[in-house]
Structure 1
Amino acid sequence: MTTELRVLDPAEWDDWYAVLELAFGGVPEADEERALWRELTEPERSLGAWDGDRCVGTAGAFTFRLSVPGGNVVPAAGVTMVSVAGTHRRRGILTSMMRRQLEDVRRLGEPLAVLTASEPEIYGRFGYGVATHTVRAVIDTTRVRLTVPEGTDGISLRVTTPADALADAEAVYARLVTARPGMVERRPGWERVALLDPPADRDGASPRQCVLAERDGEVVGYAHYAIRPKWSWPGPDGAVVVHQLAGLDPLAEAALWRYLCSVDLTARVEIHSRPVDDGWQHLVTDLRRCEPTLRPVLFVRLVDVGAALAARTYQAPVDVVFEVEDAFCPWNEGRWRLTGDAKGAECVRTEDAADLALSVRELGAAYLGGVSLVSLAAAGLVRELREGALTEASVGFGSPVAPWLPHGF
C-alpha cells in the first residue's frame, strides 16, 4: 500500500468528509446537518488515508458509553464515517484503518468498539458481531385497534415542537439508558441530532412534531413524529411517521401509541425502529396486519475480552472457560475464565481446560444478551467442550430486556 494513514487535521475535514459523502452516493447533506457532524467529529479519533494530497479513505470514532446487562454504562468507541474511494479498493486501506483504530481503542482503555453497518458483510472479518436488532412495522389503523391498560387515561398529552421539548425529552431518555442494554449515553451536543429535519429527507412528510406525555405535571414520555398527508379516491390515506418514542412506564407508552394511532386523516402508523420486545406489539388487536420486520443494527467488538466480560453482570451464575480466537487482535487470543452472577463478574487468563470454543465475533454478538450462545452453536459457530457449559453460559449471558440502539451514529 502506497497511501499514508494519519490522524485527521481539522483543517482537512472538508476534503475528508467529501470522500465519505461520495462513498454514500454523493448527495450533499443539508448545511445544518453537515455543520453538526463537523462539530461532533473527534479529529483526534479520526483517520484519513491519503494518496499524495488526495484523501482516499476515512474512519472515525466517537467517545461513547454503552449500557450493558446489569445497568452499567461501559466506555465504547462508536466506529463511524468509514469509507474507501472506489479508485483505491482492494489495496488493504480498510484493513489498515480498522487495525490502527482498534489498537488506538485498546490504548485508550475502552473495552468495546461498536458500529452500525451499511454493508454488514464487511465487518465480521474484523471481529464485529451483530448484537442488537430492531423492528420496523406499519400499523394499519383502519383495521387494527389498540387495547390500552387500565390507567392510561390518567396520562395527559401536549403537542409541541422537538426543539421546545428538548430538555424534557432528554431527561426521559437519560433515565432509560441503564434500563435497556445497547443504549448510548448521550454526550453534550448529541441531543441536537434529534432536531435534524432537512426538508429533503422528509419524503413528503411534515416537519417533525413532538407530543409529551405528562402525569401530575411531570413529563413521563415523548414521541417525535411527522405526518405524511395523502388522499385516495375513498378519502384520507395519510401516514404517521414515528421517529422516536420513549416512556418511563407502560401507561406513558400506551398513551403515546394510542395518540399516534388516532391522528385525524391518517390510515397507518409507520414505525422505523423499535425494540424486538416492545410493548406495542401486545396492544394491537392483529399483529399480522402490522407487518413487523426484523433488521440487525448494532455490531459489537470486544477489544479487551477480560475487561469487557467483567464489565457486565449475568442473570444466572456462570463459571466457564472460553477458548477465544481473535487473529485480528491477537492480544485477546487464548483461554479466559469468566465467573459471575447478577452482582458482578471477573474474567481472567487461565491455563484450565476450555469449556467453550468460539471467536471474538460470537462473543460480541452474545455480549448484550440479545443473541444466545445456543443459537450461535446451532450454526456451528460455538463448540461445546464440556457438557452443560453451553446452556450455563447461554442462560447467564441472556438479558430479560432485549438490547436496542435507539439511534444511529
Structure 2
Amino acid sequence: MTPDLATDSTHSPYNAPEVRTLTPAEWDAWYRAAEVAFGGSEEPVEARQLWRDLTETGRSQGVWEGTTPVAASSAYSFRMAVPGGAVVPVAGVTLVAVLPTHRRRGLLTAMMRRQLDEIRARGEALAVLTASEPAIYGRFGYGLGTLHLALEIESHRVTLPPLPADGVRLRLADPVLSSPACEELYASLVPLRPGMLERRPNWDRLPLLDPPATRGNASPLQAVLAEDARSGRLLGYARYQVRPEPVSQPAAGTVLVRDIEALTPQVYARLWSYLLEIDLTDRVTAGNRPVDDPLLHLVSDTRRLHPVLEDTLYVRLVEVGEALRLREYATPVELVLDVTDEFCPWNTGRWKLQADGPGKAASCVPTAEPADLALSVRELGSAYLGGLRLAALGAAGRVTELREGAVEEASRAFASQVAPWLPHGF
C-alpha cells in the first residue's frame, strides 16, 4: 500500500506527539485508521489478510489517543537492485496516514523523524516509498527516482515483427501452482534492473492477489507460461485477466496485464503477441511497465500504445556516504559534492565521490576539499538509481555547478544503461 496524503505542519500546537511501536494486538485498529485516512473504504478480506501477514510490527508505529490510533506509518525490510547489479538493504516506507481530525499537529513530522532515525540505526543507507502526495515527502528528503509507463493498447491496430522463437511452447497454467517457477525467473532478473525488489517471504503472494470483490466483471487471474519445448524450462510468463464486453460488442473485450517477464527478447515478443491476439478482445492494458520497455520498439505503431508517463518510486539517502558507495558508476568519476540535508543533518557537508567506472568499487567520504557541485539530498535521491539525470536537474536549477563541466561529468557517471523500475507497489 502506498503512503497516504497526510498533511502536516512543523508549527504544531503539540510539542512532542507520542509515537510508539505497534503491537500485534493493535493491528486491526491501526490498519483501520489508515484505511479511514485513505478515504474510508475497507479492503477485501483477502487483501487485508495479506497486508497483515506482511506487516513488520517492529517497524510499524503510530500515535494513539488513549486506545484509539490517530496516525500510522510502517516500513518493510526490502532488498533492492542498484546500478551495477548489487542488491542492497533498503527500507520500504509505507502506510503513512494521519486521520483528517489530527492533521497539522506535527504527527507526520514526528513519525518521519523517528522512522528515519530507526532506519539509520538498523544500518540501512536507503529508504524508498511511493507517494499519493509527492509534495509532502520532498521536505523529508525523498526525491523522485523512477518513472513508469501505463499502456492502453489498441491490439487490433498493431502488429509485432516475427521474431524467431523456435523450440518455445506456450502453456496455460494455474497461477498459484506455477508461481514458484515464475518467482525463480523473476529473482534472476532483479539484479539486471535498478529499482527491482527481491521478493521476501510472503511477497510472492502479492502478484497472485485476486479478490473476487475487486474483479468487476473481469475473469479470475490467468497465467501463460513460455517454456523450452524440450526441457520444459521456464523462459517467461505473463499473468493477466480478461474483461469481456456486452454481447452487443462481442469482440471488444480488454486484456488486463498484471505482469510479464522473459529471459530473452524473442520470448518477450512471443508473450506479447499472445496477449495482443486473445480472442474476443481488441484492447490490452498494462498499468506499470518500464519507460524503456522493448514493446515500444516492437509494435508497428507506437501511438497505438497510448503511453502515459507516471511517477513511481521516491528515494531517500539515509547515509549519503554509504549509499553512494553501494552502487557502481557508468564512467570514472571524482567529484566533491556539497550536500544539504535539513531533516537528517548528519548528511550535510562535503563528500568526495571516487569510482573507476563499471565493475569497480566506489568510495564516498567526508572531505574539506572545494566542492564541484552543490545539491540537496533530495536531488541525490532522484539521481541515485540512474533514471533521472543530474543534467536535467541542473537545467531546472536544482543542482549548482561550482566547477565547469562537473554537472555533465556527474550526470554521465550516475546514469544507468537500463531505466530503473519498481515492478510492484508496497
- Fold shared, TM-score > 0.5 on shorter chain: yes
2:394 is matched with which residue? Answer: 377
1:259 is matched with which residue? Answer: 274
Is 1:364 aligned to residue 381 of structure 2? yes
Is 1:396 aligned to residue 409 of structure 2? no
1:304 is matched with which residue? Answer: 319
Q: 2:335 aligns with which of 295, 307, 320?
A: 320
Structure 1 window deviating more from structure 2 (290-299 vs 195-204): it is 195-204
2:50 is matched with which residue? Answer: 36
Secondary structure of the residue aligned to 1:259 is: helix
Is 1:195 aligned to residue 186 of structure 2? no
Deviations 1:229-288 (A, max 9, x none): 014746410010001000111111111101000000000111111000011111111111
Distance 1:17 1:235, change over 3 A: closer
Q: 1:348 aligns with which of 362, 365, 368?
A: 365
Amino acid at match of 1:385: L
Distance in 2 separating the partners of 1:267 and 1:208: 19
1:207 is matched with which residue? Answer: 220
1:173 is matched with which residue? Answer: 186
1:228 is matched with which residue? Answer: 243
Secondary structure of the residue aligned to 2:237 is: strand
Secondary structure of the residue aligned to 2:33 is: helix
* 1:3/1:50 contact within 8 Å kept: no
Normalising by structure 1, what TM-score? 0.98
Residue 299 of structure 1 deviates from its aligned partner by: 0.4
Normalising by structure 2, what TM-score? 0.94
* 2:17/2:110 contact within 8 Å kept: no
* 2:244/2:250 contact within 8 Å kept: no
Number of aligned residues: 408
Structure 1 window deviating more from structure 2 (62-71 vs 154-163): it is 154-163
Residue 52 of structure 1 deviates from its aligned partner by: 2.2
Residue 10 of structure 1 deviates from its aligned partner by: 1.1
Distance in 2 separating the partners of 1:235 and 1:74: 49
Residue 152 of structure 1 deviates from its aligned partner by: 2.3
Q: 2:167 aligns with which of 147, 154, 165?
A: 154
Deviations 1:14-45 (A, max 9, x none): 11001011112222111121111111100110
Q: How does 1:61-210 map to 2 (within 5 A)?
A: 61-149=75-163, 151-210=164-223
Secondary structure of the residue aligned to 2:157 is: coil
2:11 is matched with which residue? Answer: none
Distance in 2 separating the partners of 1:168 and 1:14: 34
Structure 1 window deviating more from structure 2 (246-255 vs 352-361): it is 246-255
Secondary structure of the residue aligned to 1:168 is: helix
Secondary structure of the residue aligned to 2:274 is: helix
Structure 1, unmatched stretches of 5+, are none
Structure 2, unmatched stretches of 5+, are 1-13
Identity of aligned residues (%): 56
Is 1:329 aligned to residue 353 of structure 2? no
Residue 388 of structure 1 deviates from its aligned partner by: 1.0
Structure 1 residue ranges, 4+ long, deviating more than 6 angstroms after superposition: none
* 1:66/1:185 contact within 8 Å kept: yes
1:8 is matched with which residue? Answer: 22
Q: 2:34 aligns with which of 20, 23, 26?
A: 20
Residue 324 of structure 1 deviates from its aligned partner by: 0.3
RMSD: 1.1
Structure 1 window deviating more from structure 2 (116-125 vs 57-66): it is 116-125
Distance in 2 separating the partners of 1:3 and 1:402: 40
Distance in 2 separating the partners of 1:138 and 1:198: 23
Amino acid at match of 1:328: F
Distance 1:40 1:142, change over 3 A: same
Q: How does 1:266-285 map to 2 (within 5 A)?
A: 266-285=281-300
